[in-house]
Amino acid sequence: MDIHEYQAKELLAGYGIPVPRGGVAYSPEQAAYRCTAIGGSAWVVKAQIHSGGRGEAGGVKICHSDHEVEDAANGLFGKRLVTRQVPAGKCVYRVFVEETVDIKQELYFAIVLDRAAETISVIGSAQGGMEIEELAESDPDALVRVTVEPAVGFLEFQARELAFALGLAPSQIAKSSQLFRAAYRAFRDLDAALLEINPLAVTAEGDLVALDAKMSFDDNALFRRPDVAELRDRSQEDPRESHAADRGLAYVGLDGDIGCMINGAGLAMATLDMIKISGGEPANFLDIGGGASPERVLKAFRAVLRDEKVKVLLVNIFAGINRCDWVAQGIVDAFDQLDVAVPVVVRLAGTHVDEGQRIIRDSRLPIVTADTLAEAAEQAVASAAVARRTTTG
């Protein structure tokens, strides 16, 4: 789960990390009110969307009066901001108004999980401001990486090493290493999966301030972090994914037109690969899990068909704990209760497969059956191609 910049800054401030003074606003009037409450003579108005790259997309504006703040906010509210990270764009419903900071240097700082090595990486660079992907490509040597063993933690000497590697002045080493370790504590204590401060600004006075902050969290740990869970903003999520998540389905939205309903994450990945090999594009990843009841199958059907791009639905079940007859019943129920306007390809194998196939056959519904995964993928790709031709021609 991702959160907004202003929420991340509030969390980080709680761990002692310096952030500019600011306030969130839900309307242009409130934005103007925020700047008078903050005081000073210049402010930054920042679009709050779940994406980076807002600066170059026109989502960060420096203003010199409350009128300018109101105008800037007015221009952002309701706008779909298209960034390099989110080509489809995300809508702005909140802005963050902050005091400006006199920036002398912009650093990059991040903490990420290194899944392969089962460790945590702390990454820093003296060249902040630009996106990490860009930096990694243009000047990989400018990135400093420190490996942290989770059982040991981010030690003082490692934090100091990072501070020296970033070229910070001797007078800044103590406070910067303190800041780095505070960020690590926030990352660990809150079950974060990513923490990025870019830029981490060095001010004219030599202080370090988090000018931007991005955090995302492990969904599987949200149950024990209610104060993090409540920061969720559905307006920023893929509506297909929120719908499925609310119904306990493991669903990831993709860009293709072949809807998928599969049991098991491994089989789901293999099915997506098979679709691609057969020349098609999956519309989603969906794992219905083990022991799925007909009701659950019906819910999964509904989740897949909500996506208007879907031109064919592929069901691939290799039942171990699952029962093919339950899945088949769920499919028949779906035809009964939903408006299934696309071809459905079903491959069933494993527990109670004969009974499952009998239910499909006896229903006399226009369901295409397949015996193998390869055959099912080919059928689905062929059906999608036909559907594409009929809608475009």
Residues engaged in binding Mn ion (CB under 5 A)? 198, 212
> Is 108 tagged catalytic?
yes
Report the nearest approach of ligand GDP to the CB of residue 143 (Å).
17
> Given 108, 184, 251, 378, which residue is catalytic?
108
Q: Does 307 bind ligand GDP (CB under 6 A)?
A: no
Nearer to Mn ion, 59 or 259 (CB): 59
Nearer to Mn ion, 54 or 181 (CB): 54
> Given 5, 98, 106, 196, which residue is catalytic?
196
Q: Does 60 bind ligand GDP (CB under 6 A)?
A: yes
Nearer to ligand GDP, 137 or 227 (CB): 137
Report the nearest approach of ligand GDP to the CB of residue 244 (Å).
28
For ligand GDP, the binding residues in 126-145 under the rule CB under 6 A are: 129
**Residue number, nearest CB to Mn ion:** 212
- Per CB under 6 A, which region of 94-102, 175-183, 304-312, 329-337 contacts ligand GDP? 94-102
Report the nearest approach of Mn ion to the CB of residue 198 (Å).
4
Report the nearest approach of ligand GDP to the CB of residue 259 (Å).
33
Q: In the set 38, 82, 86, 103, which binds ligand GDP (CB under 6 A)? A: 103
Across the strands, what pairs with 329? none
Q: What is the 3-state secondary structure (H, E, C) of the chain?
A: CECCHHHHHHHHHCCCCCCCCEEEECCHHHHHHHHHHHCCCCEEEEECCCCCCCCCCCCEEEECCHHHHHHHHHHHCCCEECCCCCCCCEECCCEEEEECCCEEEEEEEEEEEECCCCEEEEEEECCCCCCHHHHHHHCHHHEEEEEECCCCCCCHHHHHHHHHHCCCCHHHHHHHHHHHHHHHHHHHHCCEEEEEEEEEEEECCCCEEECCCEEEECHHHHHHCHHHHCCCCHHHCCHHHHHHHHCCCEEEECCCCEEEEECCHHHHHHHHHHHHHCCCCECEEEECCCCCCHHHHHHHHHHHHCCCCCCEEEEEEEECCCCHHHHHHHHHHHHHHCCCCCCEEEEEEECCHHHHHHHHHHHCCCEEEECCHHHHHHHHHHHHHHHHHHHHC
- Per CB under 6 A, which region of 53-61, 110-118, 336-344, 355-363 contacts ligand GDP? 53-61
Helix 324-337 with 294-305: angle, nearest 10 deg = 50
Report the nearest approach of ligand GDP to the CB of residue 73 (Å).
15
Collect all residues with Cβ–Cβ distance below 8 Å to 133 and sequence separation of at least 6: none
Binding mask 30-49 for ligand GDP (x = CB under 6 A): --------------x-x---
Collect all residues with Cβ–Cβ distance below 8 Å to 43 and sequence separation of at least 6: 35, 62, 63, 69, 97, 98, 99, 100
- Per CB under 6 A, which region of 100-108, 135-143, 161-169, 296-304 contacts ligand GDP? 100-108
Q: Does 17 bind ligand GDP (CB under 6 A)?
A: no
Q: Does 9 bind ligand GDP (CB under 6 A)?
A: no
Choose the contact partner of 101 out of Mn ion, ligand GDP, none; CB within 5 to 8 A by kind: ligand GDP
**Residue number, nearest CB to ligand GDP:** 55
> Is 196 tagged catalytic?
yes
Choose the contact partner of 162 out of Mn ion, ligand GDP, none; CB within 5 to 8 A by kind: none
Active site (catalytic) residues: 108, 196
**Binding-site ranges for ligand GDP (CB under 6 A):** 44, 46, 52-55, 60, 98, 100-101, 103, 106, 129, 198-199, 211-212
